[in-house]
Structure 1
Amino acid sequence: MDDTVILIPVRLQATRFPNKPFAKIGNLPMLHYVYNSAANFFSNVYLAICDQPVEEYCTEHNIQYIMTDIGHVSGSDRIGEAIKILENQKDFKYIINLQGDMPFIKEEYIKALREKLLSYEMSTLACPFKDLDEASNNSKVKVEIKEGEEIIANDFYREIKSNKKINENVFHHIGVYGYQKDFLKKFISLSPTKREQEEKLEQLRVIDETKISVVHIEKEILGVDTKEDLDTVNQQI
């Protein structure tokens, strides 16, 4: 995958979990653990960062990184700046945007996202909901799939509206993305839409701009949003 760059946005100032990137998973800070989960299989892996303490850590531990502006409001915007810097250094066609708080990303998922980019401008992951209670949780993002031979996103939302229902076409969206480079540049050039801002779902900015290919995986990738999640992750390593 020499034509593909894997970028992981990292910032310290998270409202719910400040300094989360330095929270320990095993004996490593989370940012290092997540970086290794990709760098063990792929060479073009970079953290997209904006904080001096993170830069100092990356330099000390030989982690590849791109320094970006601290003012970005979304991970995709931070990734967008990073690719503008990177494309002056290397040639690539595709970008995989991993999350800095998902330590258990699998090699096969990254490869599947990249494979979809041969035919689509954007790709993402989704898995089935465990049950109706999980599906009714507004913190769990839903992706509604268009019916047809290809698995294409029709909509993304958090709350089950009166005109929506959980059925075989609604899945749990996992916030890992693949982009063709030129499309990501288009993405970040667009202004956030009203619905994107209301739902706090950046993918709604381009839902009407392109077909978003959805890679189906068997179960949720455990992420770390809270200190309780961190405890769960540490129990599983």
Structure 2
Amino acid sequence: MNAAIIIPARFASKRYPGKPLIPLRGVTGIAKPLIQRSWEAAMAVRWISRVVVATDDERIAKTARSFGADVVMTPESCANGTERCAAALGALGPDIDVIVNLQGDAPLTPPFCVESILTAMVNEDVVVATPALRTLPETRRRLLADQAAGRVGGTTVAVDRRGDALYFSKSVIPHVPARALDDPDLPVFLHIGVYAYRRDALLRYAATSSCPLEELEGLEQLRFLDMREPVRVVSVTSAHDIWELNNPEDLPVIEAGLASRSVA
């Protein structure tokens, strides 16, 4: 299995314009742009033959090249990160079997999360894999607080007994009664925004139009479920909080996470 990581990055985010270039401070106080933080996280993953940044914006491309990243320019018409990965596929060459989409707003993604889904892809029946973290009570409360405030703090996923995704949502699923919030065994899983695809599955995705649920939720992975392509959810555990940079309010959380991991 020959695997490559693609980091899709666009400037024109509706919720957070210019997000890939937002500076984030590590434990030393040194600020690096989000795209560099994400690239450094990708470079720490084992079993990867190549890491590229896929973008349609020259500002992002220039910044990425400045710290040594390999950049592939992709069309502005890409609707999401998965389509951008498909658009960059031709630049990777035909020998890449598995493509990892490490989204550029998730610099706290530990290398083992990516390695866990690569391990799942050893099973040739798995065409798409993604990790999820069973939430702690404090994470559930933060997700619910964001939801109540009209913000998207993270994506949750409901999983069947085979380990495949039933549904992804920016709302907290399943519904959790207040009396059960502190139950450590609740099946409330925080989806971690990284995917591994087989080449053919990625090409099928790009050739298929978006579906209504994907557009309503703003979650690209729902297209796979609409296509009846199973998405294997790999359960992972972490001693640290894993949080994506979705809103300006997430900046302190991300920087605290970098500090707690002793990331420079």
* TM-score, reference length from structure 2: 0.79
Which residue among 159, 170, 175 is the counterpart of 1:165?
175
Q: Which residue of 2 aligns with 1:232?
A: 253
CA change 1:70–1:121 in 2 (3 A) is same
Whole-Å separation in 2 of the counterparts to 1:168 and 1:222: 19
The amino acid of 1:46's aligned partner reads: V
Structure 1 residue 221 corresponds to structure 2 residue 233: no
Matching residue's letter, 1:57: T
> Which consecutive residues of structure 2, in runs of 5 or more, have no partner in the other structure?
26-30, 177-184, 260-264
Contact 2:44 2:111 in 1 (8 A): no
- Following superposition, the deviation at residue 170 of structure 1 comes to 4.1
2:34 pairs with 1:22: no
| Alpha-carbon shift at residue 160 of structure 1 (Å) | 6.1
Sort the Cα spacing of 1:233 and 1:141 in 2 relative to 1 into closer, same or farther, 3 A.
closer
Shift in Å at residue 68 of structure 1? 0.3
Q: Tell me how far apart the structure 1 counterparts of residues 250 and 188 of structure 2 sit (CA, whole Å).
A: 25
List aligned pairs for 1:127-206, cutoff 5 A: 127-131=133-137, 133-134=141-142, 136=144, 138=147, 139=152, 140-147=154-161, 150-159=162-171, 165-166=175-176, 168-206=186-224
User: Which region of structure 1 is more displaced relative to structure 2, 214-223 or 8-17?
Assistant: 214-223
2-structure distance, mates of 1:37, 1:159? 27
Give per-residue Cα distances to partners, 1:100-153, cap 9 Å, x unaligned. 111122121111111111220000111123335456454332211112xx3111
Which runs of no fewer than 5 residues in structure 1 stay unpaired? none
Deviation at 1:31, TM superposition (A): 0.6
CA distance in 2, matches of 1:232, 1:134: 11
Instruction: Give 2:9's aligned residue.
Output: 10
* Aligned AA (1:176): V
Report if the CA contact (8 A) 1:10-1:48 is conserved: yes
Matches within 5 A, 1:32-111: 32-41=36-45, 42-87=48-93, 91-111=95-115
CA root-mean-square deviation: 2.2
1:207 match: secondary structure: helix
Identity, in percent, stands at: 26
- C-alpha distance in structure 2 between counterparts of 1:141 and 1:228, whole Å: 16
Q: 1:85 to 1:58 in 2, by over 3 A?
A: same
Measured after TM superposition, the shift of residue 184 of structure 1 is 0.8
CA distance in 1, matches of 2:219, 2:135: 19
Aligned length: 230
Query: Normalised by the size of structure 1, how large is the TM-score?
Result: 0.87
- Partner letter of residue 16 of structure 1? R
Q: Does 1:31 align with 2:53?
A: no
Q: Distance in 2 between matches of 1:108 and 1:133?
A: 26
Offset of 1:84 from its aligned partner? 2.4
Cα separation, partners in 2 of 1:129 and 1:12, compared to 1, 3 Å = same
Secondary structure at 2:233 match in 1: strand
Call closer, same or farther: CA 1:52–1:199 in 2, change over 3 Å.
same
State the AA in 2 paired with 1:146: D
- Indicate if the aligned counterparts of 1:152 and 1:211 stay in contact, CA closer than 8 A: yes
